[in-house]
Homo-oligomer: A and B are copies of this chain.
Amino acid sequence: MSSYSVPPDGLDANEEFIRNESASISDVMLDAIVQALHEDDAEAVRNLVIPMHAADVAELLTLLNTEQRHECMEALREVLDPDILAELSPDLVEEVIETLGPEKSAEAIAQLDTDDAVYVMEGLEESDQFEILEALTDAEYRGELREGLAYPESSAGRLMQTTYVSVPEFWTVGDTIDYLRRELDLPDDFYTLTVMDPRFKPVGSLLLSRIMQNKRETPIRDIMSSDMKLISTEMDQEDVALMFRKYGLVEAPVVNEEGRQVGVITVDDIVHVIAEEGEEDFMKAGGVSGQDLHADLLETVKLRLPWLIINLGTAILASFVVSRFEDAIEKLVVLAVLMPIIASMSGNAGIQTVTVAVRGLAAKEIKQNNMWALMRKELGVGLLNGLVLGGVTMAIITVYLGDFKVAAVFSCALLLVMMVSGIAGFAMPLILERFKIDPATAAGVFLTTFTDVASFFVFLGLASWVL
A312 lies within 8 A of B392 (CB): yes
B352 lies within 8 A of A288 (CB): yes
Residues of B within 8 A of A64 (CB): 370
Interface assignment of A246: CB less than 8 Å from any CB of chain B: yes
Interface assignment of A247: CB less than 8 Å from any CB of chain B: yes
B14 lies within 8 A of A230 (CB): yes
A177 lies within 8 A of B212 (CB): yes
Interface assignment of A285: CB less than 8 Å from any CB of chain B: yes
What separation, in Å, do the CA atoms of A155 and B73 have in the docked complex?
Answer: 38
Interface assignment of A385: CB less than 8 Å from any CB of chain B: yes
A285 lies within 8 A of B283 (CB): no
Residues of B within 8 A of A232 (CB): 18, 21
Measured CB to CB, the nearest residue on chain B to A214 is B181
A268 lies within 8 A of B250 (CB): yes
What separation, in Å, do the CA atoms of A296 and B384 have in the docked complex?
Answer: 13
Interface assignment of A65: CB less than 8 Å from any CB of chain B: yes
Interface assignment of A213: CB less than 8 Å from any CB of chain B: yes
Q: Which of A41-49, A97-105, A332-340 participates in binding chain B? A: A332-340
A208 lies within 8 A of B202 (CB): no
B250 lies within 8 A of A189 (CB): yes
Using known A-B contacts A344-B315, A384-B301, determine if residue A17 contacts B286 with beta carbons closer than 8 Å.
no
Q: Which of A1, A64, A215, A345 counts the most B-chain CB atoms under 10 A from its CB?
A: A345
Interface assignment of A36: CB less than 8 Å from any CB of chain B: no
How big is chain A's contact interface, by range? Answer: 35 or more
Q: A307 → chain B, closest Cβ, in Å?
A: 7
B352 lies within 8 A of A304 (CB): yes
A305 lies within 8 A of B388 (CB): yes
Measured CB to CB, the nearest residue on chain B to A23 is B243
Measured CB to CB, the nearest residue on chain B to A259 is B14
Interface assignment of A226: CB less than 8 Å from any CB of chain B: yes
Q: A345 → chain B, closest Cβ, in Å?
A: 6
What separation, in Å, do the CA atoms of A356 and B296 have in the docked complex?
Answer: 14
> 1/0 per residue A235-274: CB within 8 Å of B?
1100100111111111000010001000000111001101
Measured CB to CB, the nearest residue on chain B to A203 is B14
Measured CB to CB, the nearest residue on chain B to A268 is B248
> 1/0 per residue A388-409: CB within 8 Å of B?
1100110010000000000000
Q: A320 → chain B, closest Cβ, in Å?
A: 8
> 1/0 per residue A1-24: CB within 8 Å of B?
110010000000011011001111
Q: Which of A132-140, A145-153, A322-330 participates in binding chain B? A: A322-330
What separation, in Å, do the CA atoms of A18 and B234 have in the docked complex?
Answer: 9
Interface assignment of A319: CB less than 8 Å from any CB of chain B: yes
Residues of B within 8 A of A277 (CB): 275, 278-279
Q: A310 → chain B, closest Cβ, in Å?
A: 9
Interface assignment of A159: CB less than 8 Å from any CB of chain B: no
Interface assignment of A380: CB less than 8 Å from any CB of chain B: yes
User: Nearest 9 pairs between A and B by C-beta?
Assistant: A286-B355, A278-B278, A248-B268, A278-B279, A336-B336, A23-B243, A315-B344, A208-B208, A180-B212
Residues of A within 8 A of B (CB): 1-2, 5, 14-15, 17-18, 21-24, 27, 30-31, 34, 53, 55, 59, 62-65, 177, 180-181, 186-191, 201-202, 207-209, 211-215, 226-227, 229-230, 232, 234-236, 239, 242-250, 255, 259, 266-268, 271-272, 274-283, 285-288, 292-293, 296-298, 300-301, 304-305, 307-309, 311-312, 314-316, 318-319, 322-323, 326, 329-330, 333-341, 343-345, 348-349, 351-352, 354-356, 358-360, 364-370, 373-374, 377, 380-381, 384-385, 388-389, 392-393, 396, 448, 452, 456
